[in-house]
Structure 1
Amino acid sequence: MSKFSFANREQWMKEVEQEHFDVVIIGGGITGIGTALDAVTRGMSVALIEMQDFAGGTSSRSTKLVHGGLRYLKQFEIKMVSEVGKEREIVYNNAPHVTHPEWMLLPIYRDGTFGKYSTSAGLRIYDFLAGVKKQDRRKMLTKESTLAKEPLLKKDGLIGGGYYVEYRTDDARLTIEVAKKAVEKGAKLLSYVKADSFIYDEDMIIGVVGVDQFTGKKINVQGSKIVNATGPWIESLVKKDRIIEGKHLFHTKGVHIVIDQSIFPLEQAIYFDTPDGRMVFAIPRKGKTYVGTTDTKYHGDLRNPVAGLEDKLYLIEAIKFMFPDVQVQMKDIESSWAGIRPLIREEGKGPSEISRKDEIWISPTGLISIAGGKLTGYRKMAEQIIDAVAADLKKRGANIGPCITKHLRISGGEFEFPTDYGRYVEEKTEEFIRAGFSHEEAYSLASTYGTNSEILFQLAEEIEETEGLPLFIRLLIRYSVYYEMTMTASDFFVRRTGALLFNIEWVKKWRKPIMKEFESIFNWEKELVERNNKELDKMLMEIEQVV
């Protein structure tokens, strides 16, 4: 079994040029990675290239919920609510270490978007369509019960609330865990390799020319089928094709802000409507409260979207509207992130009205592209893509198995039942404590990495605590590099730990010794050290900037 390690990257770069793959995937977000896992578990040979880090785009910039899309009921997208609702449960079953049940409160106001009876009926339909288990079905609350759940809510006009289950996740970690399982099954995944052009046999695409973003070296990756799962970059990749044909995308930006709970002491996750009729989440997480999202047209840099003044002010006003006793100001925003949604254009519809449904199309040259969709539905999207690939490969005599990802536990989530996760975390926490970690560190390791805790135990025995850098942090670094293909400091701070978003003071405190550790592991020269520091400086400035 190959380790998902930077140490294997150079060898994989050589190997992908020597092999002809059944499927070559461009795009290392959750859709592309999920597609790689589906394909490799059906017996296909798979290569994937991604121009940034895995989950470097939209897949690390969502609301961090595996949710069924309650608001889509208002748009009568019944099929999508049903399908995504059921997929929500599948994601939880296969990844309980990165997907956790989160009771959501929907406050109901006299003049609000949702009425008491329409909310009750809507949530009942929602539970039915999503196949929600009996113990997790919606409850309707009185005004008093609603305020007991969250005393900060606006009291004027409040008449009750709907209480229902969604699932909280770490989108980037979910993507990485799916990637680790795909590699375990035999897929070759390469980050920081940008698709530069296509290779043709007459008028059919048979491969991709990739460029290593570290060295500038070009590699040819050839395959029977080429999948374009590049999210916001789908159209730009389609334009590299000989015959330009496909859907037109509509990019919208979603922004989230993070506030310390000393300022916004939210106790309960809330889904509320704003004065302009949109819906916004406010969610407590590890001593912070994050709020989002916006939904506005976007025409800027796809690689580096940021939260601007207007975005932040909109969310602050939404907080003040629903939580009038919370005195939040611009200076209280500790961190923020912005993500781009690659939606399929629908004439006459605004950003919030466009469907989040996914759609697959195949160009005359054979390029398979997928756009739209939601984080929650990644597995189903992957299944649909590989169904199309398999049908053609079978015509050529290939022996392709059925889709098995519906019941396939991803890396770290290999429990018989998701309910085993809690007991497992308790047991492993005690083991990590006996190994010398604090309770907080031990719980963090066991709960974050799930059944991969065994690897962390072994790794902890091999490394020593150095002056200025605790064993816990060295363990996080070593595991991320040797088992999760971390290649840069921002990979670690943003997508492997989430610290830049939810624990920015920790980043500032440990940044220098962590950078030295990376320098030692990768044997970085001065130029690479400076490049990593500049990238981190830029991210810190953008995240903290009070415009």
Structure 2
Amino acid sequence: MYSYKDRADIFNTLNSYSFDVLVIGGGITGAGIALDAASRGLSVALVEMQDFSAGTSSRSTKLVHGGLRYLKQFEVGLVADVGREREIVYENAVHVTTPEWMLLPIYKEGSLGSVTTSVALKLYDRLANVRKDERRKMLSKKETLEKVPFLKEKDLKGAGYYVEYKTDDARLTMEVIKKAIEYKAICINYSRVTDFIYNKKKLVAANVKDEITGNKITIHAHQIINATGAWIDELQALDQKQKKKQLRLTKGIHIVVDQSVLPLEQALYFDNEDRRMVFAIPRDGKTYVGTTDTFYEEDPINPVATSYDVTYLINALNHIFPEQYVTVEHVESTWAGVRPLIYEDGKNPSEISRKDEIWTSKSGLMTIAGGKLTGYRKMAEEIIDKIVKKHRFKHATQCITKALALSGAKGLNSKNFESYIKNKAKTGESFGFTYEEAKQLTARYGTNVDDVFIHGKTYNTDMELPLTLYAELNYAIEKEMVYTPSDFFIRRTGMLYFDIAKVEKYKDAVVKLMNEIIGYSETEKLIYQTQLELFIDDAKNPK
């Protein structure tokens, strides 16, 4: 169990022990560190001041990709490292990661010519150790237009064709968290570090406040890790005012349109007029498009898309798809994410390296910054290797995450997952789900789907929610520490981004059921309702 009902016990347990490692930050980086450490036999605590993955880890382009564009910046080592991690992430979590063939159109005046693209993709295959059936192909103009008939035809020479991996970033983070918990890591959301405790100027503990109850505890640990992403500088400032590196935040936004507006069946990665690369990716009857790359100096707690950002992406679409003509009115929802990058003087947002860095303050606070979603596992391995060596943890084993199936993926792989979905869908029918509903749930939850199906037994047709939504909500509350409606609609299902009409239709019924199960105070209920309304408004109405 990992339910809201366990919050008090989990919080108090954190106050009762001294841990080998305390991870501050529950995004994909912190989650990966917790899993790596716990799976080696270290005692681990993780605290997150918001919900798990509420920052950048639920606001990315939702691709486990190898950074092809970094070849243009000659970051060969970065491409090699993250490129090889793509398949590892995929095989360890086939239920939240899917191969996606990307079309890279080549135009006469584009930044990449046919020869350059062919060489770059071939180098990419080699650096990333791409499996044989996913290696790049070069397409003629005719073959390119067969894949996307409404692509801009003028000056089109052909295309590169290669594989990336599509993911649900927030669900990936959640599955990593749950796997860490299987290895006895103690992880809790809505728990903020307020200050640190020192012994002879060395960091020994952190004071933590439960943002829901207001209760306070102290967590002792041999090593405290700052993995707070966009909040790294803020946490460093608590550490005796010590700061060795400085972040530069950049913002990227995405827009979502229905496929009736942009009927894209083929994922695209194309050169915009300003030579920035843009993704357009089909998903669940929608097409989402991103991303921008601008410096960001506001509070990273809730970045939003602006009218300028949205117009930029619409213009990019209309440039590459001149026959479709997308307008602002066609945009159903948006999201914005902040990238925490290591500051590099004189560089524009797109030029700053995505390479991760680790550094340690005089007090012993270890910070990890930069990096990419794709490289989360490798980053975790690197920092825990340093910690094991530093503290001489003799009880620590070697890293095992390279072949460690995440929660929901035990026994599954790229070869058997499709047959597993079909077989398990028949089980779902016995709980009242249609075959298609059961298939979709199995594809999302993998081997955890039985814990979702079981809620079909308590469902009745008089309820205000459809069966699938009812089952997913109960599962999220019982197994994934969901506490607010926004947790559910944004980070456990992604519904606010990819089916916002459904969110608006069922938001009141979800709040009602959550209130019945959790028992909000009247103030809490009002706060969480208002919070969800604000998120809906932000997604629908660029500022």
| TM-score for both structures, normalised by structure 1 | 0.98
Equivalent residues in 2 for 1:39-54, closer than 5 Å: 39-54=37-52
| Contact in 2 for aligned 1:257/1:292 (Cα 8 Å) | yes
- Tell whether 2:249 aligns with 1:251: yes
- Tell whether 2:491 aligns with 1:509: no
| Contact in 1 for aligned 2:96/2:444 (Cα 8 Å) | yes
Which residue of structure 2 aligns with residue 301 of structure 1?
A: 299
Once the two structures are superposed, what CA deviation does each residue of 1:449-505 show, in whole Å capped at 9, x if it has no partner?
Answer: 011122223343355554322332221111001111111110000000110000011
Once the two structures are superposed, what CA deviation does each residue of 1:396-452 show, in whole Å capped at 9, x if it has no partner?
Answer: x63211100000000011125322111100111122123321233212111100111
Which residue of structure 2 aligns with residue 83 of structure 1?
A: 81
Equivalent residues in 2 for 1:50-449, closer than 5 Å: 50-394=48-392, 398-449=394-445
Cα gap change, 1:118 to 1:262, in 2 (>3 Å): same
Partner Cα distance (2:93, 2:73) in 1: 30
Partner Cα distance (2:9, 2:316) in 1: 51
Alignment equivalent of 2:447, drawn from 435, 446, 451: 451
Which residue of structure 2 aligns with residue 481 of structure 1?
A: 477
SS in 1 for 2:531: helix
Partner Cα distance (2:78, 2:263) in 1: 34
SS in 2 for 1:341: strand
Q: What code does the residue aligned with 1:443 have?
A: K
Once the two structures are superposed, what CA deviation does each residue of 1:509-541 show, in whole Å capped at 9, x if it has no partner?
Answer: 111111110000111121111011100110111
Which residue of structure 1 aligns with residue 8 of structure 2?
A: 10
SS in 1 for 2:152: coil
| Contact in 1 for aligned 2:305/2:542 (Cα 8 Å) | no
Partner Cα distance (1:467, 1:341) in 2: 41
Q: What code does the residue aligned with 1:222 have?
A: H
Which residue of structure 1 aligns with residue 496 of structure 2?
A: 500
| Contact in 2 for aligned 1:330/1:546 (Cα 8 Å) | no
SS in 2 for 1:535: helix
Aligned CA RMSD, in angstroms, stands at 1.1
Partner Cα distance (2:142, 2:351) in 1: 34
Once the two structures are superposed, what CA deviation does each residue of 1:245-287 show, in whole Å capped at 9, x if it has no partner?
Answer: 3211110000000011111111210000111111000001111
Partner Cα distance (2:349, 2:257) in 1: 26
Cα gap change, 1:402 to 1:282, in 2 (>3 Å): same
| Contact in 2 for aligned 1:152/1:266 (Cα 8 Å) | no
Partner Cα distance (2:228, 2:75) in 1: 25
Q: What code does the residue aligned with 1:482 have?
A: E
Q: What code does the residue aligned with 1:287 have?
A: G
| Contact in 1 for aligned 2:433/2:456 (Cα 8 Å) | no
TM-fit CA distance, 1:151: 1.0
Once the two structures are superposed, what CA deviation does each residue of 1:169-227 show, in whole Å capped at 9, x if it has no partner?
Answer: 00000000011111111001010001110111120111111111112221111100000
Partner Cα distance (1:293, 1:448) in 2: 25
SS in 2 for 1:283: strand
Count of residue correspondences: 543
Q: What code does the residue aligned with 1:209 have?
A: N
Partner Cα distance (1:409, 1:46) in 2: 19
Partner Cα distance (1:440, 1:458) in 2: 17
Alignment equivalent of 2:22, drawn from 16, 21, 24: 24
Q: Which runs of 4+ in 1 moved over 6 A?
A: none
Partner Cα distance (1:464, 1:521) in 2: 16
Cα gap change, 1:362 to 1:259, in 2 (>3 Å): same
SS in 1 for 2:538: helix
Gaps of 5+ in 2: none
Once the two structures are superposed, what CA deviation does each residue of 1:17-65 show, in whole Å capped at 9, x if it has no partner?
Answer: 0100000010000000100000001100000110000000000000000
Partner Cα distance (1:418, 1:321) in 2: 36
TM-fit CA distance, 1:243: 4.7
| Contact in 2 for aligned 1:97/1:413 (Cα 8 Å) | yes
Identity of aligned residues (%): 50
TM-fit CA distance, 1:114: 0.9
Cα gap change, 1:152 to 1:187, in 2 (>3 Å): same
| Contact in 1 for aligned 2:431/2:454 (Cα 8 Å) | no
TM-fit CA distance, 1:546: 4.9
Partner Cα distance (1:545, 1:352) in 2: 26
Partner Cα distance (2:19, 2:62) in 1: 33
Q: What code does the residue aligned with 1:8 have?
A: D
Alignment equivalent of 1:525, drawn from 512, 515, 521: 521
Partner Cα distance (2:328, 2:4) in 1: 40
Which residue of structure 1 aligns with residue 532 of structure 2?
A: 536
Partner Cα distance (2:9, 2:32) in 1: 23
Q: What code does the residue aligned with 1:403 have?
A: C
Partner Cα distance (1:458, 1:432) in 2: 9
| Contact in 1 for aligned 2:453/2:471 (Cα 8 Å) | no
| Contact in 2 for aligned 1:357/1:372 (Cα 8 Å) | yes
Partner Cα distance (1:163, 1:443) in 2: 29
